[in-house]
Structure 1
Amino acid sequence: MERADHQTFKWDTPDLELVFRYSDSTPVELTTVQSGETKAVFSDPLPIVEILAAGHGHRLSSGRLIATHIGAELRYKNHEATVSDGKYRLTVYLTDPESHVNVEAHYETFTGSSTFRSYMTVTNAATADDTIVLESVTSWTAGFGAPNAETDINAWDVLECDNEWLGEGRWKRTHVTDYVPEMHENLIGHNQRYSHTVVSTGTWSTGSGAPMGVLESNQLKLVWLFQIEHNGAWRWEIGKNGDDGYLALSGPTNNDHSWEKILNSGESFTTVPADITLAASFDSAMEQLTKYRRATRTPHDDNHKPQVIFNDYMNTINGDPTTEKLLPLIQGASAAGVEVFVVDCGWYDDTGNWWPSVGEWKPSKTRFPNGFSEVMSAIAKAGMKPGLWVEPEVIGVLSPIASKLPDSAFLSRHGHRIEEQQRYFLDFRSPEACEYITGVIDRLINDFGVAYFKFDYNVSPGSGTDINSDSCGDGLLEHNRAYSKWIDSLHEKYPDLILENCSSGGMRMDYAQLSRFQVQSTSDQQDFRLYPTIAAAAPMQMLPEQAANWAYPQSTMSQEEIATNLNTTFLGRFFLSGYINRMEDQQKKLIAQAVSAYKEQVQPVLPNAIPFWPTGLPHWDDPVVSLGLRTDEYSLVTVWARNLAQPQISLLNIPFYQGEETEVSTVFPIGDGFPAWPVHWSDEKGILSVFTPADGYVSRTFRIKNK
């Protein structure tokens, strides 16, 4: 119900509208979000920011991020909207004279997408020596809403993602009331105190869950899609607020991450950004988020032509490279049409025990008796860009560098360097740490012509560091931000350098990383029979052109198994491994066919493609898995059949071709030995029926085009 003393203001952009209200006695609240024709109205809106601080807790005691005293007491001062180079920005200024907290609430959106970014800057406005000790600050807080303000929490599902080393991208759907059931709290006049909370600690930001999720209501025809842009600790929660649900997003908190930030008079803290999308359908929301990701990532030529990569590690050299092993692989990769050849881990090791000794990053003399330049030059002479694996954030406990750098260069707690699995962690706030590792990168580029780095990260430091910080969580947050700035500095210094983000596979697939890296490793999964689920789900967390899903065909595999391997990488960043040099001519030709088809059919359209899932987001054990890419020219769909008990007709939902005549053709594999999978298109239903055989693990990629 609108109060008589409420005032409102509106932020209009070409793709988005936000409406706020406020009064002298109430905080600023978001009442409406509209994206195109899709509108969400909040009947019981929340303050736009919630803050916990020492001495300033909840209005109703709970473990939630919402219902905070400061959040309720902040009052409107003014607001300012600006436009520059396709970027629209709104800043809402708030103040609470009692706590001396000032807040700038920032909202940003970009031409071509209705997804918007939200983050907060909190300032201690006290004139004396009073400090403010922050314990949590939300980046986004709002209800679920409804098109006409008649909220119904029973109308919503939540989609969230479980990640694990070797098992990334496992999405699941839960009805919201399974988390926050009806409890008739109106009888006592208070809200519920429980929230469903998803938390990540340390720096494996996607090691257990994902800093993103989906709220979907088919009944209301509303979808919220959100992500948190942070390469460290984060939290998101959903719960009930009155008759509506609510969503709160944040970076580290005191309860979850040992985080607190002390603000002296005049000092400020800015939260990690959160990205919000409202749409009428899941597919529309993913389209808007995909466009936002492309609009906000680091500019790079590779973004527009994602190059084909060979990496020597997975199910191949496995961290034991030598000149003798690499030279035949280099020739095999070049003959297949590869554009980048990456020498993975082990190239620096003379001891046979490289794990605890990493950090000096000098080539082995025993592995490369004629010098490492022989290998790197061979890659360049074969017409490929030389790539190299480095783990820049760690120093092995047995590395000579561990004693050369001061303790201040490392993350530490209580005077002890943090050690995890025989590695120390460089602190990227430290000038000595940054100077050292930057020198390593400079040397490798200058000495060996490295044009591509695979940056791995195989350990996590826990809560953080207490050196030069207000708390362990504060030290970790500032270190993570400093690392991101270091990555930015590499791009400024070497604008053509291609960077791959890997963290034991896909343990750090957050958008703070993804916005800065051209390539993202999706997993360390070594079984090609399990990888299709990971590959199909990958574009939820990243752009499809970033998704490096391993294909590792072997000479011992059948042609269908090799083709299934290759299709797993086909609708993303073509990411190849395997002993190509040991294969028969027929097997080599199949790999060359895949690379050629990728360059002709996928590479030109991939940078503008929108992902979709014709059989829905995959579950880990689904016998049939699919992924699609929609472009203006045509659509591509890969279907994997995984050891079906009997042949079946699989129904692929492709609604954007409904009512249109199409032609469907097989892109890969084709030729002798690969029987065609019969297909039937129903333009009335927008359904492609595909005959999927019971022939073990098999796969086809189709092209669908208007006639």
Structure 2
Amino acid sequence: MGEIRFLEDHRTWVLTGTSSTYALRLDEDDVPAHVYWGPPLAAADVVELAGKTLPWWDGFNDPNEGLGELAADGGTRYWTPALQVRFADGTRALEWRYETHEITGDHLAIRCTDRHYPFRITLHYRLRGDVVERWTELAADTEAEVIRADSATWALPVFEDYRLSHVTGRWAAETQLRRVPAPHGETVFASRRGITGHHANPWVMVDDGTATERHGEVYGVALAWSGSWRLTTTRSSTGRLTVSGGFGQDGVVHRVGPGKPLTTPIAAGLYTRGGFGAASRAWHAYVLDHVLPHPGELRPVLYNSWEATGFDVTEAGQRALAERAAALGVELFVMDDGWFGARTGDHAGLGDWQVNRERFPDGLGPLVEAVHGLGMKFGIWVEPEMVNPDSDLYRAHPDWVLHHPHRRRSELRNQLVLNFARPDVAAWARGWLDRLVGEHGIDFLKWDMNRPFSEAGWPGEADQDRLWVDHTRAVYALMDRLRADHPGLRIEACSGGGGRIDLGVLARTDQVWTSDNTDALDRLRIQHGYSHVYPARAMSAWVTDNPNFVTARSVPLRFRFHVAMAGVLGVGGDIVRWPVEDVALARDLIALYKDIRPVVQHGAQYRLRPPADDGVTALQYVHGGRAVVFAYRQAAHFNAPERPLRLDGLDPAARYRDADTGRTHSGAVLLAHGLVPALPAGDFASTVVRLDRIKI
């Protein structure tokens, strides 16, 4: 349990986490300023650091730059601003001061006001173990324009050097890990697309350049937001580095005034001193304990029909797939696109969410009943935020899409984006989704979002910029309401693959579709980058057919299964056409996955060897007295002998039995020397090792 204290004599707040401390104070101008973030410190030790503001060195260098808890624009503050405000008379400089604060359990609220204008700023802090959640609330009695409203500024200790870890990518190549020296000046990671984006993800880790998977201090910041976002690292010549982040983008202005407050999304910060592996495990624990709606559940093995049928969806075809899926041991059957309206391809019908009666003469009821009768839950694909111009919905409501009156309406994938910031659009979506789920007993929604914003206008609305925030919040509100009205409903977030993966969407979904690329070799890298912040419990991974539709590569079925079994296992191939031997192998591997699923989905993850080359990649999960090791050889060269894998997270005083061979191992030996995984010969070799702690 954490603790928040206010040291009144020193005007300092100390937030003590499980194994870290965060501290801030009021400076001489009554403005919150950063004091400390790092390993645990007693309150008395923090006081030693909470000194006075230092004088300027000269007319150009301020030794306190970057120490503002929320770097505000104005006066002689030249650091990257986290808060920029323009008042009605044109004044842009913000002068604010402390008024009061409240500590309620694990929550601290610091209330400040501008020294002249009726503008209020509340800084929020909440302790979640070693994660500090921060957000900002803005309010005003007269209208003001907020040009930038980040959730927080995070000041790091002064190191000899800094290194940034983050992910980049594109469609079908998401979450590719990058580690680079931190440049001087500003480095911006962002999405201007209205969604989280395939090209970057809203988190960054910082170390001094020496951290490894197992050793070293690591700082991380992650943003809980599924719309446009921005994270900025600023490194000065004086040696300081900060991270500032929030929603929005350049050119988008938030209006704050009477009855129109602005609350930023959560920016979560984490300090660990056990390397990148410990940082990832701490993020995973945070997501499981404080973000996911049903973290204690075991996610079911699912089957998805997309790659088997595409848009050629019929009741008979889905029944055949469902029967084969049930025989394999699948627990959730998901029918993908093509079940509604004139949806025989991606060119028409999107937005007309009525069951296609030519394909389902008696509606969805008989298929849902058949799937339930086979002992599986029933899921269905939806894309509520999109519309085809060739649809009855668009013909009736062309004003419902994002558009400008004198500009083209750019189509991507033959789609336009519906403006969920409009109450009538949000109400329409809630109506048909509520009916779909309620009338048919739907257990699972695959919620897709297949294109970014363009022409983001709202003709007739005085404050058109608000759609950038209000659209995302309306999606959140709709998901929240559906879940409240249908407690058994579970949701997977999808956005052309991994275009909407973040802490904000994970707070209202149960899993995320990691990438449209199901090639097992590529997935090793995608899943590696994903794992740096997000847990296996939420990572949907499918086994699909050869050759892979993205890469045209053929990979053995066992290897494909073993890669997908490192997350939430799914099957997406044309299983009706699978040969007998593949069906038998799949059935066995699904049974194996169900045995190890509690360890994979709820255990601590250790990345033993990253997929840095075409050699052996390995990872391990530990939960209670069980451990599971996955090892993958991508390519064999020169008949090289296998090297032992040094395991992690085990009890050195215990012994562990291999569930398949019966052989026992010393925990100390597995930690110090390692385990030889005994991979089969050749390329694309893989194995799963199950270790059970023995009571001695």
For the aligned pair, the TM-score class normalised by the smaller chain equals 0.7 to 0.9
The runs of 5 or more residues in structure 1 that have no matched partner are 146-150, 181-193
The TM-score, its normalising length taken from structure 1, stands at 0.84
Distance 1:50 1:430, change over 3 A: same
The change in CA–CA distance for 1:473 and 1:654 in structure 2 (over 3 A counts) is farther
1:283 alignment partner in structure 2: 277
CA–CA distance in 2 between the matches of 1:37 and 1:631? 30
Q: CA separation in 2, counterparts of 1:478 and 1:451?
A: 28
Out of 558-567 and 287-296, give the one that drifted further: 558-567
Q: Does the CA contact (< 8 Å) of 1:411 and 1:426 recur in 2?
A: yes
C-alpha distance in 2, partners of 1:558/1:354? 25
SS at match of 1:700: strand
* CA RMSD in angstroms, aligned pairs only: 3.5
Matched, 1:336 2:323: no
Which of 132, 151, 159 lines up with 2:144 in the alignment? 132
2:152 maps to amino acid:
W
Matched, 1:207 2:198: yes
Quick one: structure 1 residues 324 and 7, their matched pair in 2 at CA, closer, same or farther if it must change by over 3 Å?
A: closer
Segment of structure 1 superposing worse, 317-326 or 387-396: 317-326
Query: 1:640-679 maps to which residues of 2 (within 5 A)?
Result: 640-648=632-640, 649-657=642-650, 659-660=652-653, 662-663=655-656, 665=658
Residues matched between the structures, number: 653
Aligned residue type for 2:124 = H
Cα 1:350/1:480, change in 2 over 3 Å: closer
User: Quick one: which of 372, 375, 385 aligns to 2:377?
Assistant: 385
Q: After the TM superposition, which residues 461-500 of structure 1 pair with which residues of structure 2 at under 5 Å, given as runs?
A: 461-462=453-454, 464-467=456-459, 473-500=465-492
Give the deviation of 1:49 after TM superposition. 0.7
* 243, 262, 274: which one aligns with 1:269: 262
Secondary structure of the residue that 1:164 maps to in structure 2?
coil
| C-alpha spacing 1:471/1:244, structure 2 compared with 1 (3 Å) | farther
Cα distance in structure 2, aligned partners of 1:680 and 1:303: 28
The CA deviation string for residues 74-108 of structure 1, in whole angstroms up to 9 with x for no partner, is: 3222221112xxxx101112233145532110011
- Partner Cα separation in structure 2 for residue 389 and residue 449 of structure 1: 14
Task: Please say if 1:633 is aligned against 2:625.
Answer: yes
Q: Aligned partners of 1:50, 1:168: CA distance in 2, in Å?
A: 32
Mapped to 1, the partners of 2:280 and 2:332 lie a distance apart of: 30
8 Å Cα contact 1:226/1:275 also seen in 2: yes
Give the drift of 1:246. Answer: 2.3
User: Does the CA contact (< 8 Å) of 1:238 and 1:247 recur in 2?
Assistant: yes
TM-aligned CA deviation for residue 72 of structure 1: 7.8
Tell me the SS of whatever aligns to 1:226.
Answer: strand
Write the distance in 2 (CA, Å) between the matches of 1:470 and 1:16: 46
Shift of 1:597: 1.3
> C-alpha offsets along residues 220-248 of structure 1, whole Å, 9 cap, x if unaligned?
94211221011111111212245433233
Give, as a single letter, the amino acid of the residue that structure 2 aligns with 1:204: I
**Correspondence for 2:103:** 81
CA deviation after TM superposition for structure 1 residue 250, in Å: 2.4
Contact 2:445/2:492 (8 A) holds in 1? yes
CA deviations on 1:594-627 (whole Å, 9 max, x unpaired) are: 111121221x3445322221114x44x5443333
The residue type equivalent to 1:94 in the other structure is C
How far off its partner does 1:313 sit? Answer: 1.3
Contact 2:347 2:390 in 1 (8 A): no
What per-residue deviation string (whole Å, max 9, x for no partner) do you get for residues 543-579 of structure 1? 2111111111469999981111111221211111212
Letter in 1 for 2:25: R
Amino acid at match of 2:26: Y
Q: Is residue 123 of structure 1 aligned with residue 139 of structure 2?
A: yes
Q: Superposed, which structure 2 residues align to 1:151-550 within 5 Å?
A: 151-154=158-161, 156-176=162-182, 179-180=183-184, 194-217=185-208, 218=210, 221-241=216-236, 243-253=238-248, 256-264=249-257, 267-281=260-274, 282-300=276-294, 303-314=296-307, 316-348=308-340, 350=342, 352-369=344-361, 371-405=363-397, 407=399, 409-414=400-405, 419-421=410-412, 422-462=414-454, 464-467=456-459, 473-550=465-542
Q: Aligned equivalents of 1:373 and 1:267: distance in 2? A: 44
Indicate if the aligned counterparts of 1:49 and 1:71 stay in contact, CA closer than 8 A.
no
1:32 aligned onto 2:36: yes
Does 2:84 match 1:90?
no
* Cα pair distance change 1:240/1:651, threshold 3 Å: farther
Change over 3 Å in CA distance of 1:266–1:404 after alignment to 2: closer
The 1:65/1:574 distance shift into structure 2, 3 A limit, reads: same
Residues 22-61 of structure 1: pairs in structure 2 closer than 5 A: 22-25=26-29, 27-34=31-38, 36=40, 44=64, 46-52=67-73, 56=74, 59-60=77-78
Structure 1 residue 646: Cα displacement: 3.9
Code of the aligned partner of 1:91 = A
- Contact 1:260 1:470 (C-alpha < 8 Å) held by counterparts: no
CA distance in 2, matches of 1:404, 1:526: 38
Deviation, 1:262, is 2.2
Percent of residue pairs bearing the same amino acid type: 20
Residue 186 of structure 1 corresponds to which residue in structure 2? none
Q: How far did residue 66 of structure 1 move?
A: 8.3
Change (3 A) 1:656 1:93: same
- 2:684 aligns with one of 697, 700, 704: 697
**1:615 maps to 2:609:** yes
Output the CA distance in 2 between the equivalents of 1:502 and 1:477. Answer: 19
Offset, 1:467 = 4.9
Any idea what the Cα deviations from partners look like across 1:393-451, whole Å, max 9, x if unmatched?
Answer: 112111101133372x4333347795432323222232321222222223323443321
Distance 1:31 1:71 in 2: 24
Structure 2 residue runs without a partner (length 5+) = 1-8, 51-62, 86-90
Cα separation, partners in 2 of 1:509 and 1:463, compared to 1, 3 Å: farther
Return the offset for 1:266.
7.0
SS of residue paired to 1:75: strand
Query: Secondary structure of the residue that 2:568 maps to in structure 1?
Result: coil
Pick closer, same or farther for the CA change 1:626–1:74 going to 2, 3 Å: farther
Residues 250, 272 of structure 1: 8 Å contact kept: no
Distance 1:80 1:658 in 2: 43
Distance 1:360 1:66 in 2: 42
Rounded Cα–Cα distance in structure 1 between residues aligned with 2:119 and 2:289: 33
The CA distance in 1 between the partners of 2:132 and 2:268, in whole Å, is: 6
2:88 is matched with: none
The CA deviation at 1:686 is 5.6
| Stretch deviating more after TM superposition (35-44 or 536-545) | 35-44
The match for 2:3 is none
Task: State the distance in 2 between where 1:558 and 1:411 align.
Answer: 39
Query: Using the alignment, how far apart are the partners of 2:252 and 2:490 within structure 1?
Result: 34
What SS class does the counterpart of residue 160 from structure 1 fall into? strand
For 1:30, the aligned partner's letter is H
Structure 1 residues 612 and 655: alpha-carbon distance in aligned structure 2, compared to 1, 3 A threshold? closer
Q: Which residue of 2 aligns with 1:571?
A: 566
